[in-house]
Structure 1
Amino acid sequence: MGRLLEQVEETRAYLASKTTVKPRIGLILGSGLGDLADKLEGAVAVDYGTIPHFPVSTVEGHAGKLVFGSLEGQPVVAMQGRFHYYEGYSMQTVTYPVRVMKALGVDTLIVTNACGGMNPSFRPGDLMIIRDHLNMTGANPLIGPNEPSLGPRFPDMSRAYTPELAEFAKRTAASLGIEVREGVYAGISGPNYMTGAELKMLRLLGGDAVGMSTVPEVIVASHAGLRVLGISCVTDMAIGEELEPLTHEQVMEVASRTKPRFISLVKAIIAGIPSA
């Protein structure tokens, strides 16, 4: 674990040499939602492939850049594309950028994703504020030796998604006339989409949406003491009894259509987000 601390510090020092921005807010931008990073003022983009100890994105729709800049007057760092367990990376590697964000001074993480809607009242294009999650990946990024300076051995997850931020996001959406849903995000390993029987199981367990990301990053963010706001873009309906064939291209297309509302909401949240 001492090696992890050394790597995080090497990555932090490298990034600090590339920009004078001292980010307070971290953004993880999911499939088809990376355009928000293009809205940053005074942006400095660093390719993942040049960052010490960083993996690289291999999925279509993930640009693979860490972007520093200002958004609505707030200093931010945005992941324009994330890493996934199904790409073959370890859970520790998938969540490494969250460790680096913490080291850079981030205290609040906004994590986004494209997901399938399991709640029958949802529709493609809906935005869902994540209230809680189900870790159905079969793995956990905290398995292994624990470094106390990074977080406690047995971190509490009852407030993994900061309730106050979720309420603030709801109020912000209402002020913009943007309807938002709320629910539980079920995180799976992927890369295959789920069978009808699996989706019915997840719904019975309390899931409202299903996706292949977010949960590992939020576990590590909570372990590190970061405040977390999660927002999902429902790109398709994943109702076990009414399952239709699905492709990644369809997911990307709906995420792209939803971008204007998503960007408006996240910008407004960042503009008025309460201090930690």
Structure 2
Amino acid sequence: MNILPVRKRKRRNIIPGFGLSLGYTMLYVSILVLLPLSMVFINTTTMNWSEFIETITDERVVASYKLSFGTALAAGILNVIFGTIIAWVLVRYPFPGKRIVDGLVDLPFALPTAVAGIALTTLYAPQGWVGQFFDFKIAFTPLGIIIALTFIGLPFVVRTVQPVLQNFNGEVEEASASLGANRLQTFIKVILPELIPAILTGFSLAFARALGEYGSVVFIAGNMPMKTEITPLIIMTKLEQYDYAGATAIATVMLVVSFLLLFIINMIQWVTNRKFLHS
């Protein structure tokens, strides 16, 4: 009796339409993300290596790198601290006007960046409503840039931490308290580990937004070369001078460094999630 080999049945995906959905996703990402980014590198290839190095290592450009990355990092750290506190207050405490405060958190998303920049400059200028009370300058300094970047990046941290706090199981806190832990110990050992992935995500989004921010910063920065000139402004200046290759060369450096920093942050987040799942 001949026994024919039984063909293995191909496992079908539970969710129908996977191939079509994946194809549409890849097409969408390619057209809106990969293609524009590839043009940055393609335009840069019109320069030879010596011109590229000379452009990206210019003293004025290097100073803008330090300012842009330094202020974006400082603003991201501030947003992590105050954004987490705001999310905690909005979730844990009832108070009058809570809905209004919750809505105001999203205001930087809706407000045009130029309007935000003009408003912040009016507030923190030496003769402004807030700046007049300080003996040191806030506007037209790196401190003013940090304030502007903190303003536009705050919602990213609040909106990533807030859902985690809302879904947190209160019984875990009660169990921690019943075992003798005080509030600080409960927060550090029980609540904070669950918040860290959301905090890192919010920091990544706020940091990435701050690196590319232009409208709200250009007014309050003062745009003084070597002091308060951000990298996006130098890129815009080169575009206005029709130096497209120089603009894309600087943009390439920003893109590569930003990608590496975000990759490191995502790796830290992945390691943190793994430790949390295995603990």
Q: TM-score, normalised by structure 1?
A: 0.30
Ranked by relative contact order (alpha carbons within 8 Å, sequence separation 6 or more), the top structure is 2
Higher fraction of helix: 2
TM-score by length of 2: 0.30
Higher-strand-fraction structure: 1
Higher alpha-carbon Rg: 2
